[in-house]
Structure 1
Amino acid sequence: MLLDYLFYFLIFTLADAAGYLAFRLRKLRSELRDVRLELDRCQLTLEISEDVGRFGSWHLDAKTNALKWSDYIFDMHERRHSLGHPPIETAVHYYHPDDREMVKAVVARALKDGDDFEFRARVLTENNRELPVLARGTCQIGGDGDVLGIFGCFVDLSRPEDRKFG
């Protein structure tokens, strides 16, 4: 008799736990949907802001040297999106030859020491146009003090009549 009660108690407890887990799963899915909608809204706001403000953002992963560009950075460089994000070496070669060594030194110092930076330089686009930019970068530092990456932006300093990308 006691075993019967214990058996029913375990069944009831398992059913109750399963019901609770199903409820939590529905709630988490709803929260995830809300977070995705908010992320999409933030992404759209950033894209509109970049276009209106004539700036683009980028990120360099210090461990892998993987570089990621926002859409506006692709547009500034007149680089086709289908080519994907460029390797860091290719990105450096978009700078005017007279600016490349300075850019390499600034980025190397940031990766080594965690120094934020700002500089003006010239970018040579895929269509061989010269585009003046203001570059800013801030380092992402891990809990151990190591540089994890650099978040940066370019501000397009060209005159409106010189802009042909969209």
Structure 2
Amino acid sequence: MSIIYIQFFCAFALIATIFFVVLWLRKSQRDLQAVTLELERCKLTLEISEHVGRFGSWHMNAGTRVVRWSDYIFDMHERRHSLGHPPLENAIDYYHRADRLMAQSAVEKALKKGEDFEFRARIITEQGNEIPVLSRGTCQIDKDGSVLGVFGCFIDLSAPEDR
């Protein structure tokens, strides 16, 4: 008889546990949906801000040296999205020849020494257009002091009538 009570208790405990896990999962799913919606809202706000403010953001992973561009940076460089995010060397090649060494030096210092940078330069777009930009970069440093990557932005300095 006591075995029947133990089996009944175990079955009840299992059903109760499953019930609470299902409730917890549903709440987690609602929370995840809310966070996803907020993330999408923030992304859209950033995209609108970039186009209105004429700036774009980028991030370079120190390990892969791939530079991830925001949509506005692709637009600014007149680069097709289908070409993907450029490796650092290709991104540096967009700078005007006279500005390329300065840009490359600033990025290398950031990667080696963790130094932030800011400079004015010119980029040459895929269509051959010259655009003056302000480039800023700040280093992402891990707890050991190693550079994980560089976050940055380009600000389009061209006059409205030149756009």
What's the TM-score, normalizing by structure 2? 0.97
Q: Which runs of 5+ in 2 are unaligned?
A: none
What is the CA deviation profile of residues 138-163 of structure 1, one whole-angstrom value per residue up to 9, with x for unaligned ones?
Answer: 11111221111111000000011111
Distance 1:113 1:79 in 2: 30
Letter in 2 for 1:124: I
How many angstroms apart in 1 are the aligned matches of 2:139 and 2:73? 19
Matched, 1:96 2:87: no
Give the equivalent residue in structure 1 for 2:54.
Answer: 54
Specify the alignment match of 2:42 in structure 1: 42
**1:1-166 alignment, distance < 5 Å:** 1-163=1-163
How many residues get paired? Answer: 163
Which consecutive unaligned segments of at least 5 residues does structure 1 have? none
Shift of 1:5: 1.2
Moved over 3 A (4+): none
What's the CA shift for 1:46?
0.2
| SS of aligned partner of 1:64 | coil
Give the drift of 1:36. 0.6
CA distance in 2, matches of 1:133, 1:104: 15
Task: String of CA shifts for 1:88-131, please: whole Å, max 9, x gaps.
Answer: 11111000111111111110110111111100111000111111
RMSD: 0.8
Partners of 1:78 and 1:64 in 2: CA distance: 24
> Residues of 1 paired with 2:28 and 2:66: CA distance?
32
Q: CA shift at 1:87, angstroms? A: 1.6
Find the aligned partners of 2:142 and 2:55 in 1 and give their Cα distance: 27
TM-score, normalised to structure 1's length? 0.96
Percent sequence identity over aligned pairs:
61
